[in-house]
Structure 1
Amino acid sequence: EPTRTIVDKLQLDRSFNVLNGSEASFILEPYDNVAVRFVNDFQLQNRVFLTGEVKYPGPYAMSVKNERISSIIKRAGGLTDEAFPLGATLQREEGDYGSVVIKLNDILNDVNSEFNFVVKNGDVINVPKIKEFVTIKGATKVQEVVGENAINEGNEIHVPFQEGKDALFYINEYAGGLSDMADRQKVFVEYANGEIKKPRNGLFKKRYARVEQGSIISVGYKAVKTEDESKSSDVDWTKVLGDSVAQAMSILTLILLIQRLD
């Protein structure tokens, strides 16, 4: 019998049984080809996880393509009264990005914010509780102004937040100022969302980063020179002076010689 081409569509249940109807008696024969095609625009359900101070935390299925952070937060009922949006964080598994800096205040105030990212499957958005304190640690004179019982490891102290102040204000006001071992280039402010800022050189003086609620001010130490580096950096002023005098005498002798020749 010659080869024939028969095209038919079969409807199957979830157990891959042919549903009742005219196709139910369809019998496959050797060398038949069965094609199972995808439904257009079909996607497995993707989920985003909200934790912390949102009204309804938990997993949320992405309802539309290219859904953004603002939409997910809205579906979760918004933030609680104890929410600290400045400290909100995003963890992204896709692409091994890990922690991603976001500014939730900006997102909630403007859906067109550059931080209003499209959410991806597996994203975890956490909104912490209000952080009332600012933390200062590192190379300060805190031990001169604060009792040892209030100082944690690494010269760390926790102090009240004051609106509109920079890092140097907090260091001087609460930690006794910078120690002799402090490196002014290494005064960093880490914000609650993970963003870090360092000092900038102004026209006449350094401009230290502004501090926000929940920030951590870290004061780095100057690099300690090794014995060999210290020796190489020591200046032998006697030798320098002697060399300078010798060079000056040589120049003077040359000038006198030229004058005599003239």
Structure 2
Amino acid sequence: MRPKTLLLAPVMSKLDHVRPALHRLSKFEKKDVDVRLVPLLKHTQPRLEIFCEFMKNQESFGKLPGKHTVELFAQSDDDLLSTNWFSNWNILMQSILSSNREKYGRNIEIIVLLSEHVPTGITLASSIATLTIPNVRLIEFPVGYDLNSQGDNFDPSRQIMEQMIEFDTWSGHGIREPLIQLTSKQEVLKVLDTIRELAERNAILSKQNVSNNLTLEILKVFQIREILRDKELGEKKSNKTSSNLLSNRLKTLREVGVIEKIDGKAAYRITETGLIISGLLSKANQ
């Protein structure tokens, strides 16, 4: 039996990304998809109705496996979101969660389909919603071939449905698990704070790292140890961090993915996840 997912697509003006998203989830992830198009501007509704009918009946790109629905999310004039994108989108997502739990079950998966045309307030509200709604994913598809795409991402031979971008969310495994693992480990967090502090110092002084990207900085273990010792002297701690303790705490940080070991060196690099976790759990935010 194919798992079911709810694809929520806020629509401002363009629909190029909707069909690739449906095809991707149906063919690659083997899911039955209920697409809900949410008009953000009242005047687009008549054309969205035409698009819905087209999507329901179209087979020009081949019949999709599984069972799918495409519907317009009904809104009255009073419910249109444009008065406050952030607040109203947050309310709408909570409403959708409550009204669809019986149909999909408690583990309902909601996928929000973002695009460059979606207002920033909706993108931000979708990201924050992942703190309160357990199973939310945020995805985006490039419209056309982006000449500014990073690294090897530019490949004209790939179909758009193959170019899905999925964003890390607060409830995603990559962030949720480190948060759970490290929240209660204050001594380990102090090491992570020290690593970030060292990365910030090095990035400022580095002539090669012109963008001040902290994840590029190679941080030697002896440097981490020296900063920790200076802090402990300042705090007048009787129990200093020994080499063995530091090694164990670095191992813990590496296991949850917030730092990476540099091959062949007694050195580490902080990851993007590490920057998020260190920001959330740093002393300054407690």
TM-score, scaled relative to structure 2: 0.23
| Structure whose residues are more often helix by fraction | 2
When Rg is computed on C-alpha atoms for both structures, the one with the higher figure is 1
The structure where strand makes up a greater share of residues is: 1
